[in-house]
Chain A
């Protein structure tokens, strides 16, 4: 099972990830992703794998990684 890791040194709260994966990410006061699960790197359920791949590719700052 993969997880999604946010590289905070790159993230600037663009928000594509939270749009693509609202089940896993919310958005804080300033636009930065907040994990909705108990883990800081949320686990990706099988059903969301495709969208997670998409999110990793789409983050314009390359801040999202599947690990």
Chain B
């Protein structure tokens, strides 16, 4: 396996997107053939590269592959293109622009694990037409599944593939041990698979040449909100938030929501924060699936957040009591606050509810929602004070 540091073939900062639109022949010409790797070689390569999952959880790829390899029975490999996060568009972009790379990733991992099945799980908001014929030709089964915010969650996804309702299962039994059809299953976001397909050809050192020592490589970011040019960009992990947003042209930012609806806010005063785990930790944020939403100074953050909280409450799978009951209550309280409710008990009630729902469900939906709400209350504390006094600092003209 070659371990070159720079690749003359791909630009450092946007290796994936630079391959956009190539047909199969050009793709193969540019990158060379897909290496055939055994499972040990693949795990070592993944470890060396330091690749972490790009689907939101950020779990080290090597560890996941290793645990599936250790499972009993022939593995199943699933590419997760569910795009459950409404603000995200990267799964759609990946399937539309670099389908060969995604399929390469699936094939690479499947061969190494000796998998019996390759599945591409596609959500309703992701066009699969571009990739269906290609996938079939390479033995990948494309499954169009019903969506929803939690549908892309690992166990929910596996349930749906198995023909059961797409709701999460008790996390005690990991899908890496018993997943699709009861077999050890690797569920990987398609961006992760795409990166893996490049690492296999260009090496771990190449991957590490971009990004941060603790979080190497590049990542796709979906930028939306108060920006002149919303869309998907690719940037090195650990880049400064301002640099990643630059090409999109943020307009009058008050804060940026990092990590989507389960993420946290970084105020405009801190836009030079590098997008690393350590630097984001004080804000309670993680990169998640790379969603960056810009809130401008004229939009009330509490109104925006209460809309998100209501959406998240509607998107519960409907299985777990604390979530079914707690999320709507929390959203209600936040909405009352957003509507200039003068009840001074509201912040404490919101805080109580978000603590109550955290960690009490079969999946991380209540936790993520609680995190978003907590971040909103902390970041926009001045707004909270103002709303309790009956006005909103964001509205033109001030007092209502």
Contacts and interface: CB of A to CB of B under 8 A. Distances in A.
B356 A9 contact: no
Contacts of B360: 6, 8, 28, 32, 34, 40
Nearest to B355: A34
Interface centre among B167, B168, B329, B356, by most chain A C-beta atoms within 10 angstroms, is: B356
Contact of B321 (A13, A35, A40, A65): A13
A12 B323 CA distance: 12
Contacts of A28: 322, 326, 356, 360
B268 interface: no
Contacts of B361: 8
B362 interface: yes
A10 B321 CA distance: 9
A33 B25 CA distance: 58
A29 interface: yes
A9 B362 contact: yes
B325 A9 contact: no
Contacts of A6: 360
Given A28-B356, A40-B359, A40-B360, A8 B322 contact: yes
A61 B167 CA distance: 18
B4 interface: no
Contacts of B319: 8-9
Contacts of A32: 321-322, 325, 360
A7 B321 contact: no
Interface string A15-40: 00000000000001111101100001
A59 interface: no
A30 B325 contact: yes
Given A29-B356, A32-B360, A9 B321 contact: no
Interface residues of B, number: 18
Interface string B298-329: 00000000000000000000011111011001
B332 to A, nearest CB: 13
Nearest to A11: B321
B172 interface: yes
A11 B360 CA distance: 11
Contacts of B321: 8, 11-13, 30-32
A8 B359 contact: no
A9 B170 contact: yes
Contact of B172 (A5, A11, A13): A5
Nearest to B319: A9
A20 to B, nearest CB: 19
Given A8-B319, A8-B361, A28-B322, 16 more contacts: A6-B360, A7-B170, A8-B322, A8-B323, A9-B169, A10-B170, A11-B320, A12-B321, A28-B360, A29-B325, A29-B356, A32-B325, A32-B360, A34-B360, A40-B359, A40-B360
Interface of A: 5-13, 28-32, 34-35, 40, 65, 67
9 contacts: A8-B319, A8-B360, A9-B167, A9-B168, A9-B169, A11-B320, A29-B329, A32-B322, A32-B325
